[in-house]
Every structure is written in structure tokens, then in C-alpha cells.
């Protein structure tokens, strides 16, 4: 793994619009801009890789820009994430779909403002709060400036409403609808091609390889914060709706538009 990538992931600077040329050179930007049917892909764990593969089956895509986003809460081996991009290159080159070099993106300050700063306030105000909802919202929103920079109108995400019958508060219908509606404000489609895939076995079928959920990916220090002590899922949907409508949409839009004006 490139030491320059490791340095970025160690320091986690504000990296949303101004990318180093070794990562995103002007020649690559030019090529991406002129490529029809280009998609920015969110790369994280198993589902994100499956989502890209399924998207290429469902849409006439010609090129993928893999992106890896950081928040400040992850831990583990970053190299695993980048290694998975080779799966895409190997699979998609057979269909003459270009997979560009990965772009790393992130802003812990943006994440803090959107997800961390008002934890106590939201818990008191709404009766429920989970960082996971705002975190996944952040993951989608933080890629908007890059997509606009590349004249790309499609971002592929690996969200699923059900994981073998289990719910994740950041991937319930209310959350996913909110993510998609927000990106529409910027003329971008958040494409969730495996949204209704319930079975992990079907995900492995798309991947054409065994890969257990949660394996071979980074972990988060706040993982499962919405679970009760017995492991049951606990959330208040009305609180999630209010979080988006009364805070997250406005805060994210103001932040993103500032980045776009730079």
C-alpha cells in the first residue's frame, strides 16, 4: 500500500475538494470528465463491492471511480479495503469497464459537526439518537463535491434494508430515502442496487466468492451503538426523521455548498 495513502489515513486531513495530484492528476480528471456513463463508487466492505458489480449489470456503465472515505472512528487494516478494489478491476475489465485508481476522501470536522457534536442534545430533544444514521449520511454527502468535480451524476452505494432479517438503523427505509433525496438536491443519483437484497448468500453469489458479513473490512469504535444489551435493535423512527429534517439536511447542505464554492 502506498505510503502516501497511509500518511493521509493517519492524519485524516480535510480532503474533499483539493486532492493531491499524485492521487487525482489533471489528466485523470480530464479523462473522467469526458467519459460517458461514469459512476463514483463507495468502497468499504463486502456489500459495497457487490453493489458495484450489480450496478454494472443493471446500468450501462463504462467507468468506475472507487472512493474510500474516512471519518475518524475507524480502526483496523486499511490495506484490506484497497485490496478489494482489485476484485473490481479483475471482474470488470472483462466487460471493458474501466476502474480508475482509488480516491481517498474525508473530513473528520464535517463528521463531528454532523454526527458527534450534538449527541447529548439530540438524545434529549428526540428521545433517541445514533451516530450511525448521521455517519452513513456523511459517507454519501462527502462524495458530492468529487462527483460534481468529475461531472458525474451517479454515486453507487452498498446499503441494504435487511441483512438476513436484521435491521441496521442507518439502513432502514427512512434513512435510505433521506440519503437519496438529499443527493437529488445536487443533481446526483444515489444508486443502491442491492437495497432489497436480504440474503447474505445472494451477496456472495453476486461476488462469486465466499465472504462473511463484517469480515475483511475496517471496524468502528461506535459500532452497534443502537443495540440494547441483549443485542436487540432499538430505535425511534420519528426521531430519525426529525434529525434529518431539523438538522442534518440543512447542516450538510450548507457545508457541501461551501466546499463547492471553493
CATH code for the domain in which residue 78 is found: 3.40.50.620
Residue 214 corresponds to which cell in the numbers above? 463484517
DSSP 224-246: TTTB-TTS-B---HHHHHHHIII
Residue 18 lies in a domain: no
Rounded-to-integer distance, Cα 119 and Cα 27, Å:
43
Residue 227 pLDDT: 84
Specify the number of domains making up the chain. Answer: 1
Residue 14 lies in a domain: no
Residue 214 pLDDT: 66
Residue 257 lies in domain: 36-261
pTM score of the predicted model: 0.95
Residue 9 pLDDT: 95
Residue 228 pLDDT: 83
pLDDT digits (tens, 9 = 90+) for 120-162: 999 999 998 999 999 999 999 999 999 999 999 999 999 999 8
Q: Please give the average pLDDT of every successive group of 10 residues along the chain, which has 262 residues.
A: 92 96 97 96 94 96 97 93 91 94 97 94 92 95 98 97 86 94 98 94 88 79 86 86 96 96 80
Q: How many Cβ atoms are within 10 Å of 1's Cβ, its own excluded?
A: 13
Burial of 73 (0-12, 13-18, 19+ CB in 10 A): middle
Rounded-to-integer distance, Cα 128 and Cα 145, Å:
31
For residues 215 and 198, the answer to whether their CB atoms sit within 8 Å is no
The residues near 216 (Cβ < 8 Å, ≥ 6 apart) are 45, 46, 80, 84
Amino acid at each position: 500500500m502506498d505510503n502516501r495513502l497511509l500518511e493521509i489515513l493517519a492524519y485524516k486531513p480535510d480532503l474533499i475538494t483539493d486532492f493531491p495530484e499524485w492521487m487525482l492528476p489533471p489528466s485523470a480528471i480530464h479523462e473522467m470528465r469526458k467519459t460517458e456513463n461514469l459512476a463514483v463508487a463507495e468502497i468499504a466492505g463486502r456489500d459495497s463491492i457487490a453493489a458495484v458489480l450489480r450496478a454494472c449489470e443493471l446500468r450501462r456503465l463504462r467507468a468506475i471511480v472507487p472512493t474510500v472515505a474516512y471519518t475518524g472512528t475507524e480502526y483496523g487494516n486499511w490495506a484490506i479495503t484497497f485490496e478489494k478494489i482489485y476484485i473490481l478491476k479483475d471482474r470488470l475489465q472483462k466487460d471493458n469497464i474501466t476502474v480508475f485508481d482509488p480516491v481517498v476522501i474525508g473530513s473528520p470536522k464535517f463528521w463531528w459537526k454532523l454526527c458527534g457534536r450534538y449527541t447529548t442534545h439530540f438524545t434529549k430533544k428526540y428521545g433517541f439518537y445514533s451516530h450511525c444514521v448521521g455517519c452513513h449520511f456523511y459517507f454519501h454527502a462527502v462524495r458530492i463535491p468529487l462527483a460534481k468535480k468529475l461531472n458525474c451524476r451517479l454515486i453507487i452505494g452498498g446499503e441494504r434494508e435487511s441483512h438476513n432479517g436484521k435491521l441496521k438503523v442507518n439502513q432502514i427505509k427512512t434513512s435510505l430515502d433521506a440519503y437519496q433525496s438529499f443527493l437529488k438536491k445536487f443533481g446526483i443519483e444515489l444508486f443502491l442496487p442491492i437495497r432489497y437484497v436480504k440474503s447474505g448468500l445472494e451477496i456472495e453469489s453476486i461476488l462469486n466468492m465466499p465472504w462473511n458479513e463484517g469480515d475483511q473490512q475496517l471496524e468502528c469504535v461506535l459500532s452497534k451503538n443502537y443495540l440494547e444489551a441483549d443485542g436487540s435493535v432499538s430505535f425511534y423512527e420519528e426521531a430519525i426523521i426529525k434529525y434529518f429534517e431539523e438538522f442534518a439536511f440543512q447542516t450538510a447542505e450548507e457545508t457541501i455548498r461551501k466546499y463547492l464554492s471553493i
